[in-house]
Amino acid sequence: MRAEKHPKGWNEIKTNDSWALFKIMGEFVNGFEKMSAIGPCVSIFGSARTKEDDKYYQLAIEVAKNIAEAGYGVITGGGPGIMEAGNKGANLAGGTSVGLNIDLPFEQHDNPYIDPDKSLDFDYFFVRKVMFVKYSQGFVVMPGGFGTLDELFEAITLIQTNKIAKFPIILVGTAFWSGLIEWVKNTMLTEGTISAKDLDLVKIVDTAEEVVEIIDVFYKGRDLSPNF
């Protein structure tokens, strides 16, 4: 029997992977300790490329202000664009403003509206995503790109498969999101890759007032606690 051969440097790669576990563990420990002390929050997602004069930037400020005034903290990805608008709205309302920053080669830099003691830095997307899901009482999804869709569909999948308890997932901007939802209905549902009840996991709205109303109605009589 011929001996299996590995590419040059294979053992070094395995060793580096093993040591990386300690860094990953450190990010989880730091995130859990800081996030568990913050209290009920709602996450706001959206494009890092959205400019300050864009209607969705302004709407994200309003959404975040209303969320903060309703007694929830606001969590964003900590960067520019919609994330900045979310932190700015929470800051203007005197609410808790959290930023989960990620090290990226472009676009990402922390915005000035995050509470200084609530700015966390991550190297690993998957660790950061755990923090969003575990400590959010709801996801508010503004127009965005692939990263926004990644967060959206991960949350839907976790709820659909009963890995976490259901929480509100709210898409803001009918004009932006309606095409996606129509495709989900007309293609995925028609092909049988999802069930009709899965469509109920997501709501679409156009105003900040609708966002807070959905969240308040959902949590009426429910305990606010981490999701797992």
Encoding tokens for residue 89? 């709205």
Containing structural domain, residue 101:
10-219
Position 227 in a domain: no
Q: Which residues contact 216 (CB under 8 A, 6 or more apart)?
A: 70
Q: Is residue 225 part of a domain?
A: no
Domain count, the chain: 1
Q: Is 1 among the domain residues? A: no
Do 132 and 102 form a contact (C-beta atoms < 8 A)? no
Query: Where residue 211 sits, what CATH number does that domain have?
Result: 3.40.50.450
Q: Look up the pTM and report it.
A: 0.90
Please report, in tens digits, the pLDDT of each residue of the chain (228 residues total): 455 566 666 555 556 788 889 999 999 999 999 999 999 999 999 999 999 999 999 999 999 999 999 999 999 999 999 999 999 999 999 999 999 999 776 655 789 999 999 999 999 999 999 999 999 999 999 999 999 999 999 999 999 999 999 999 999 999 999 999 999 999 999 999 999 999 999 999 999 999 999 999 999 988 778 786
Whether 5 is covered by a domain: the verdict is no
* Strand, helix or coil for residue 60: helix
